[in-house]
């Protein structure tokens, strides 16, 4: 009887999936690094609430929203797939994408993910952006509190987005179809 020796990637993924984080903390596996973050501060959640309210009120296509959905997104090279929990995941209601989904679901059908920067903004700006693009998520909305700006990434090509619309807090952001709505960012600062 032969036993396969687990790869380093297998050990990393198994260790990550076995983590028992404190209540409210998030553990993510991003580009081979396990990142544990504490519950978000009120200003962070205020921005999420503003986004959800505006999208629910103005979107052309009814959307489901989750602020806690784990996604398996592509990673670079031989690393295990990234396991991330976006601050917001939107999917068309008609897909019932979240119903019956496992803790870490694939990205097929996700219309947009949202990240609001916190302690490690560079991860949202770089590693998560590339992972979302490689996984085929058509829209990535980054609210960068440190820089005071909002960026919408769209038009996928390879492991990145080719089109980005950036503006400071206070400027409106146009979300394309299936959202077809305008976000008012004046209350983000």
Domains and CATH numbers, the chain: 41-184 (3.90.1570.10)
Predicted structure pTM score: 0.93
- pLDDT tens, N- to C-terminus, the chain (189 residues): 677 888 888 899 999 999 999 999 999 999 999 999 999 999 999 999 999 999 999 998 999 999 989 999 987 776 788 999 999 999 999 899 999 999 999 999 999 999 999 888 999 999 999 999 999 999 999 999 999 999 999 999 988 999 999 999 999 999 999 999 999 999 998
| Pairing relationship of beta strands 112-116 and 139-144 according to DSSP bridges | parallel
List all residues 6 or more positions away from 144 whose beta carbon is below 8 Å from its beta carbon.
117, 121, 124, 125, 150, 151
42 by DSSP, 3-state: which?
A: helix
What number of other Cβ atoms are within 10 A of residue 144's Cβ?
19
């Amino acid at each position: 009887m032969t036993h396969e020796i687990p790869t380093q990637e297998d050990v990393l993924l198994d260790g990550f999936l076995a983590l028992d984080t404190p209540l409210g903390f998030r553990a993510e596996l991003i580009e081979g690094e396990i990142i544990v973050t504490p519950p978000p501060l009120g200003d962070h959640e205020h921005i999420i609430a503003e986004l959800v309210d505006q999208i629910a009120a103005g979107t052309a296509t009814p959307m489901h929203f989750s602020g806690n959905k784990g996604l398996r997104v592509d990673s670079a090279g031989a690393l295990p797939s990234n396991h991330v929990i976006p601050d917001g995941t939107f999917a068309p209601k008609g897909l019932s994408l979240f119903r019956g989904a496992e803790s870490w679901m694939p990205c097929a059908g996700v219309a947009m993910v949202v990240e609001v920067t916190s302690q490690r903004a560079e991860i949202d700006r770089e590693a998560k952006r590339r992972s979302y693009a490689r996984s085929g998520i058509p829209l990535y909305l980054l609210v960068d509190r440190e820089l005071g700006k909002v960026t919408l990434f769209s038009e996928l090509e390879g492991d990145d987005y080719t089109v980005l619309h950036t503006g400071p807090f206070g400027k409106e952001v146009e979300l394309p179809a299936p959202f077809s709505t305008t976000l008012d960012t004046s209350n983000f600062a």
